[in-house]
Structure 1
Amino acid sequence: MRSFIKVFLIIFVPIGILLSVTWSITDKLILEAAQKELAHEMASKAEILKGYDLKYTFDQNLHDKFSHISEKSKLRITIIRKDGFVVDDSYYTPEQVSEMENHANRPEVLEAFATGTGSVIRRSTTAEKRMYYFASKYDENLIVRVSYPMDYIESLRAGMLKQNLTVYFILMIMIALLTIYLARRINRPIQQLSIIADKIEAGESKIYFPSFRDKTITKLVGVIYRIYNSMNMKAKQLEQEKLKLNHIFSILDEGIILLDAKNNVKHFNNTAIENLETELKTDKNILQQTNNMDFLSFFSEIVPLFEDRRLQKEYKGRIYEIYIRVFDNEKLIVFFDITERAEYENFKTELIGNITHELKTPLSMIMGYSETIKNDPDMDKKFHDKFINIIYNSSNRLNILINDILQLHKLEMQKDSIAVEEPTIAGELAEEIRSYYVDRPKDVTFKAEGLDEIYINREHILSILTNLVDNAMKYSTGDHIHLDILKDKDMISINVADHGPVIPTNEKDRIFERFYTMDKAKNQNDTGTGLGLSIVKHIATLYNGEARVVSNDKGGNTFIIKLREKFPLSDIS
């Protein structure tokens, strides 16, 4: 997932930055062009107004003309003398004009008297809004100033911003989708190579090397495959050397304690202190370092040994492998934590044993009856058909077992990455279950009242229902199976009840283990793979729920599965 995100960002971020910069530059250029157009228009208006016979004192006729122009176009016309006195202003009445403050220090006025024209964008202290001012010298003692509210430019900017943002986000979404597609295409072989590398690093002996369309990656995989095979061959050769160098290398990473002939501590490393959880002091007997009984018990069996030994001991709930090397006057004790390795070995041994046991029966029947048919080509048709049927049933059982193992593995790999984008329709689910069990020896009643949509993956909820109902079909002696689906807020409860026999209390927790079957079921003809309830429990764990079984008032068992709905992120936000 991290490599996918990296590839996505490498492609998406530069394109996004380039698009943002382009948008910013384009927006700036358009606004500058609009502002230049406004300046040109204002200069033209000022030249037209200079065609009037302007006075050095207020003229009512000119004022009326200027006011009419302002009403029609929002253009403000101001006549200003060189001493700063405002002769006329089209935004105000004659009385207000006479009271206007002196404009001699206005920047556009000063610039116009100095160079002939002047312009500025500023907030008007009289009109109290941002205006674009353009002043043109009428004669040596009089200028014509026209101004226009900046609302035009600001509305243009707002309109452009809205339009550009819409286009920008649409383009970003399109680019993101395209980038996701490209990132997946690029990242898929990288992920597969990463998986191969992880398996090689983990020391797995059987690794599948897939084929790729890309010739370069195919060559790379070929090189890795040859290196992998070479490593396996070298590993066997180095195994003997590893035994010789084991003590030297172990002291670099593992707990080390060096004792003298009197069992006084001569040397130790930090790992020893961390593992033993006890502070050690040099030149002091190892058995006098502390009064902790775990510590004393751990070393009381090691200290008396005077020959090279390798043993395993438990210390504070952890399992340690200990190497003892005796020299002339010293004893080297090297120990390291193998708890996880021991647990893994036990789990692997148990899992392999269970899988082998489950595969052995159908395989034996397939091979046995196949050999019988092969050795007797003239066999009676009745027996021939019977044996073929047994072979088919055994093959089907083998297929179910393999599918269950693969499904369980898939669920274990999924961990917390479950996501439900589309809900399961309760009505469709009920119809499918009813039709699936319509001609079975036991009657199945299904209730999902008040439920429309369930945000549980359809494949997962079907797996729970079919595993639980099939389990009841095989092991229940009653004629009825009751299936109810209830909802409390975002918690879904699936209850499957049968009519017995009751599962013993000491087996109620164990039935959810892999390959576990009750003693009463082992001699039945129609047994399951022993993985169904384990699959149910793993699915419940994925949805932050639980799986348990209780006795019911019908003399049987009720399996209760709790699942918390996984809503789409868009709904949560």
Structure 2
Amino acid sequence: NFVDERDTSDRLLSSLGVHQVAMVPLNIERQTIGVLVIGDKKTGTFTTQDTARLTALAGPTALVVRQIARYEEALNQSDRLEEIATMKTDFVSVVSHELRTPLTSIIGSLSTLQRPELLPPNPNAQELVATAQRQAQRLRTLIEDLLVVSRLDNRALPVRPTAVELTAFLHNTVTSVSVNDRTTVTISADPDVPIIHTDPDHLARIITNLVSNAIRYAEGSTIEIETALSEREVDIRVVDHGPGVPFDRRDRVFEPFTQLEDLQTRHRGGTGLGLSIVAGLAGTLGGRVRYEPTIGGGATFVLTLPIRHNVTRPVDGPDRTDPGKLRNRH
């Protein structure tokens, strides 16, 4: 394992001031991953004790070299994954923007067609216009969800806290949610809950997603919204009496694209983004959300928010997923 290099590398050794070198292979699992080279600037030869020490040193050195190589490989892979994630976020942002622009015109045109003086006299034609309007609104919601997800991933979602009177806010938000005749939404507000300071747009999306999710899985029952004061925080509970969340999916309920039904058998629709957006926005507002089984069957989602949200970054800072900037990027 040891080779005296003085005869073959006199010039190199002389320039280094080395009289002799010894080399020992670095082996791991019968594979040589490198060579440990030791130079001696003193005259003389390596002793048996020297070679024994070098041999003993080769094993730990090989392990260290392999770990360093793995660490560098992991760093390179991490950089690549981060680059891919950025590309994905940019792509979603640009596509969402490009889809939203023509869709706005489509929705506006359909709304115009539903005016009494322009509405087609044929009932079937009227139903077709109404169906197109509903599906266009559904598509717009999906596009907006994708845009919110991309901005949450990129931590580029602005936060603009204002004073919110929670009871009136909940009533107004629930009014905008599409509720069928068989489902009832009730609001039970704690009179001790003060005015909170939070971003009303983000809070409205959270409540809308939670209520829409409850309606989807508990159609025909009563959806209950409750508020309660807890020290310096406010709890908002959305309770339904549907089938609840299967036990094996409760730990993944806030992950993107998680469905509570199997893909082959589900009939309720949805992309699986709603609850992940709820969790992301809750964190953005300085709060959190959790799932609890409803006593007697069903699901309860508890949103906890601070009474006053302190923004830790400029609310009007640059949006790294601004579609206009991305389209002009070279």
TM-score computed with the length of structure 2 as normaliser: 0.58
Q: Which residue of 2 aligns with 1:494?
A: 236
Give, in whole Å, the separation in 1 of the partners of 2:283 and 2:77: 25
**Contact 1:477/1:501 (CA < 8 Å) preserved in 2?**
no
Distance change (3 Å), C-alpha of 1:345 and 1:506 = farther
Q: Which residue of 2 aligns with 1:446?
A: 187
The answer to whether 1:538 aligns with 2:280 is yes
Query: What is the deviation of 1:348?
Result: 7.1
**Contact 1:474/1:526 (CA < 8 Å) preserved in 2?**
yes
Give, in whole Å, the separation in 2 of the partners of 1:433 and 1:416: 21
1:285-323 deviation per Cα after TM superposition (whole angstroms, max 9, x unaligned): 69824189xx28x84xxxxxxxxxxxxxxx59x6643xx
**Contact 1:415/1:542 (CA < 8 Å) preserved in 2?**
no
Distance change (3 Å), C-alpha of 1:347 and 1:410 = closer
The answer to whether 1:428 aligns with 2:168 is yes
Q: Which residue of 2 aligns with 1:175?
A: none
Within 5 Å, which residues of 2 pair with 1:258-297?
A: 262-263=25-26, 264-266=35-37, 284=54, 288-290=58-60, 295=63
The answer to whether 1:398 aligns with 2:134 is no
**Contact 2:177/2:208 (CA < 8 Å) preserved in 1?**
no
Higher Rg: 1
Q: Which residue of 1 aligns with 2:75?
A: 337
1:312-359 deviation per Cα after TM superposition (whole angstroms, max 9, x unaligned): xxx59x6643xxxxxxxxxxxxxx732423543775799899x7xxx9
Distance change (3 Å), C-alpha of 1:347 and 1:504 = farther
The residue type paired with residue 456 of structure 1 is T
**Contact 2:197/2:307 (CA < 8 Å) preserved in 1?**
yes
Distance change (3 Å), C-alpha of 1:468 and 1:521 = farther
Equivalent residue of 2:300, what SS? Answer: strand
Query: What is the deviation of 1:395?
Result: 3.7
Equivalent residue of 2:235, what SS? Answer: strand
Query: What is the deviation of 1:541?
Result: 1.1
Distance change (3 Å), C-alpha of 1:415 and 1:383 = closer
Within 5 Å, which residues of 2 pair with 1:142-153?
A: none
Give, in whole Å, the separation in 2 of the partners of 1:352 and 1:286: 53
Q: Which residue of 2 aligns with 1:459?
A: 201
Query: What is the deviation of 1:455?
Result: 1.6
* Percent identity of paired positions between Structure 1 and Structure 2: 23
Match of 1:407 among 110, 127, 148: 148
Distance change (3 Å), C-alpha of 1:287 and 1:505 = farther
The residue type paired with residue 548 of structure 1 is R
1:392-445 deviation per Cα after TM superposition (whole angstroms, max 9, x unaligned): 55543332111112223344555797452x310123213314533585331111
Query: What is the deviation of 1:260?
Result: 6.3
Aligned residues: 240
Query: What is the deviation of 1:500?
Result: 2.0
1:43-62 deviation per Cα after TM superposition (whole angstroms, max 9, x unaligned): xxxxxxxxxxxxxxxxxxxx
1:499-551 deviation per Cα after TM superposition (whole angstroms, max 9, x unaligned): 12121222123221222222247755552232221111112212332221111
Equivalent residue of 1:265, what SS? Answer: strand
Distance change (3 Å), C-alpha of 1:352 and 1:501 = farther
**Contact 1:265/1:285 (CA < 8 Å) preserved in 2?**
no
Within 5 Å, which residues of 2 pair with 1:478-557?
A: 479-520=221-262, 523-524=265-266, 526-557=268-299
Equivalent residue of 1:515, what SS? Answer: coil
Equivalent residue of 1:337, what SS? Answer: helix
Give, in whole Å, the separation in 1 of the partners of 2:78 and 2:169: 43
Equivalent residue of 2:253, what SS? Answer: helix
* Structure with the higher helix share, 1 or 2: 1
Unmatched tracts of structure 2, length 5 or more: 1-21, 27-34, 39-52, 100-121, 312-330
The residue type paired with residue 475 of structure 1 is Y
Give, in whole Å, the separation in 1 of the partners of 2:277 and 2:167: 24
Structure with the bigger RCO (C-alpha within 8 Å, sep 6+) is 2
Unmatched tracts of structure 1, length 5 or more: 1-258, 268-282, 300-314, 322-335, 363-380
**Contact 2:240/2:300 (CA < 8 Å) preserved in 1?**
yes
Distance change (3 Å), C-alpha of 1:285 and 1:413 = same
1:115-134 deviation per Cα after TM superposition (whole angstroms, max 9, x unaligned): xxxxxxxxxxxxxxxxxxxx
**Contact 1:514/1:534 (CA < 8 Å) preserved in 2?**
yes
**Contact 1:511/1:533 (CA < 8 Å) preserved in 2?**
yes
The residue type paired with residue 198 of structure 2 is I
TM-score computed with the length of structure 1 as normaliser: 0.35
Distance change (3 Å), C-alpha of 1:284 and 1:518 = farther
Query: What is the deviation of 1:261?
Result: 8.1
Query: What is the deviation of 1:466?
Result: 0.8
The residue type paired with residue 539 of structure 1 is L
Moved more, 487-496 or 408-417: 408-417
**Contact 2:227/2:234 (CA < 8 Å) preserved in 1?**
yes
Equivalent residue of 1:406, what SS? Answer: helix
Distance change (3 Å), C-alpha of 1:286 and 1:471 = farther
Equivalent residue of 1:502, what SS? Answer: coil
Give, in whole Å, the separation in 1 of the partners of 2:258 and 2:88: 12
CA RMSD of aligned residues (A): 4.4
Distance change (3 Å), C-alpha of 1:500 and 1:432 = same
Query: What is the deviation of 1:385?
Result: 7.6
**Contact 1:442/1:479 (CA < 8 Å) preserved in 2?**
yes
Distance change (3 Å), C-alpha of 1:351 and 1:426 = closer
